[in-house]
């Protein structure tokens, strides 16, 4: 299969290219890092890149939480306009298969259960609570403590920052393309991806990158809130393998199929910082109590659908992956 990989020179995209090659496919890298003319927003350039292509892995995106709404136009341009241009070109070229790099950020907060009211969806956290160090969202009905759980693909979406909004818009565009063309679209909703070649020292990188960069400078990782916020840290090679599995699996036409892509092993941000510090032999993490309004408290994945339908499963465990990441080289953004 000849596969166009947008963002194929980036952190996740480069691993997707390697995984495709290992499985006997022919990846075609389309990335402004490798070629300044390879902008996914350029209809003519995209049309040329799609010649002879059987499928597309769309990894190109502006990622991370960003800076409030100051860079909203850039996010929308890179993520949503770029996706729209790509899909229109795919329709013209007759390319019928798409795997989209989705994100767990479309959910907002994760799954919570109240002892009295069952599964509930807390709203955005209040600044007064955050300033006072009350980081756990309460039950929106009774105000009592909640128990976090795994979120499934059928959970309501509730994007809570500009980046999250653009990732959901990408899914809507892909769904519209699939319906209108009768083609196959898959969105892999990545959880917190980490691993070799992760970008360093950039406001758009994940928390693992910030911690790793600090340790490389001999500084202590700075952990926001109380460090007990839960995430699902999934290794980049497992994410790349999920892309290959989605491409090789049975195609569902005319719809967008969504799949959580996580390790299935929730860990706190504090645990991750400590694992990296231990593996690097660096300073102990410092819990700062700081917060960002766009952050959610807990978001962890139920990836059973991806395992059941495509036979995929994560192979890199948390301790092994963090030990490797502590030694691995990082890249400039």
Question: Residue 204: is its pLDDT beyond 80?
Answer: no
294: pLDDT strictly greater than 80: no
Whether the per-residue pLDDT at 97 is higher than 90: the answer is yes
Q: Average pLDDT for residues 224-228, to the nearest whole number? A: 97
pLDDT value of residue 116: 96
Q: Is residue 265 part of a domain?
A: yes
| Mean pLDDT confidence for 179-206 | 89
Residue 306's pLDDT band, with cuts at 50, 70 and 90, is very high
CA distance linking residue 256 with residue 83, whole number of Å: 14
pTM of the entire predicted model:
0.95
Residue 295 pLDDT level (bands cut at 50, 70, 90): confident
Model confidence at 329: pLDDT above 90: no
* Cα–Cα dist 211/276, whole Å: 8
pLDDT at 322: 96
In the structure, what pLDDT confidence band is assigned to residue 333 with cuts at 50, 70 and 90? low
- Answer yes or no: is pLDDT of 203 > 70: no
123 domain residue, yes or no: no
Dist CA 299 CA 106 (whole Å): 11
pLDDT at 293 over 90: no
pLDDT above 70 covers a percentage of the chain that reads 97
**Which domain range does residue 300 map to?**
2-111+149-327
Residue 119 belongs to a domain = no
Residue 129 inside a domain? The answer is: no
* 63 touches 164 (CB < 8 A): no
137: confidence class by pLDDT, cuts 50, 70, 90: very high
Alpha-carbon distance 185 to 292, whole Å?
Answer: 33
Does residue 34 sit within a domain?
yes
Question: Alpha helix locations (H) across the chain?
Answer: 11-22, 43-49, 72-75, 82-93, 127-131, 162-181, 207-216, 236-248, 269-280, 304-310, 318-327
Q: Comparing C-alpha atoms, which of 240, 204, 232, 200 is closest to residue 303?
A: 232
Distances (CA, A) of 23 to 187, 241, 244, 262: 21, 10, 8, 21
Residue 237 lies in a domain: yes
Q: Which two tokens stand for residue 99?
A: 């795997």
Q: Compute the mean pLDDT over every residue in the chain, rounded to the nearest whole number.
A: 94
Contact 195, 15 (CB under 8 A): yes
Model pLDDT, residue 66: 64
- Give a yes or no: residue 60 inside a domain: yes
- Domain containing residue 205: CATH number: 3.40.50.720
| pLDDT of 67 higher than 80 | no
Whether 285 is covered by a domain: the verdict is yes
Total number of domains constituting the chain: 1
- Which comes out higher in pLDDT, residue 160 or 247? 247
């Amino acid at each position: 299969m000849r596969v166009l990989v947008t963002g194929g020179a980036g952190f996740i995209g480069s691993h997707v290219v390697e995984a495709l090659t290992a499985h006997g496919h022919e990846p075609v890298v389309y990335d402004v890092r490798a070629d300044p003319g390879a902008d996914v927003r350029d209809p003519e350039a995209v049309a040329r890149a799609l010649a002879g292509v059987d499928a597309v892995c769309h990894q190109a995106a502006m990622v991370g939480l960003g800076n409030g709404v100051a860079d909203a136009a850039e996010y929308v341009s890179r993520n949503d306009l770029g996706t729209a241009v790509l899909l229109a070109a795919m329709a013209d070229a007759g390319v019928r298969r798409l795997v989209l790099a989705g994100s767990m950020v479309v959910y907002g907060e994760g799954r919570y259960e109240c002892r009295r009211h069952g599964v509930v969806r807390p709203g955005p956290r209040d600044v007064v609570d955050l300033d006072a160090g009350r980081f756990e969202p309460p039950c929106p009905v009774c105000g009592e403590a909640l128990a976090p759980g795994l979120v499934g693909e059928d959970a309501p979406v509730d994007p809570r920052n500009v980046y999250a909004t653009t990732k959901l818009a990408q899914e809507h565009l892909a769904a519209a393309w699939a319906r209108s063309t009768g083609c196959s679209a898959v969105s892999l909703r990545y959880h917190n991806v980490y691993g070799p070649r992760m970008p360093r020292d950039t406001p758009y990188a994940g928390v693992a990158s910030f911690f790793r960069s600090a340790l490389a400078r001999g500084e202590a990782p700075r952990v926001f809130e109380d460090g007990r916020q839960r995430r699902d840290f999934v290794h980049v090679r497992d994410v790349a393998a999920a892309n290959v599995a989605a491409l090789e699996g049975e195609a569902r036409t005319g719809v967008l199929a969504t799949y959580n892509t996580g390790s299935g092993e929730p860990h706190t941000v504090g645990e991750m910082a400590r694992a990296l510090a231990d593996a690097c032999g660096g300073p102990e993490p410092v819990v700062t109590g700081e917060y960002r309004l766009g952050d959610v408290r807990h978001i962890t994945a139920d990836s059973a659908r991806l395992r059941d339908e495509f036979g995929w499963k994560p192979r890199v465990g948390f301790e092994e992956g963090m030990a490797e990441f502590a030694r691995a080289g990082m890249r400039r953004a």
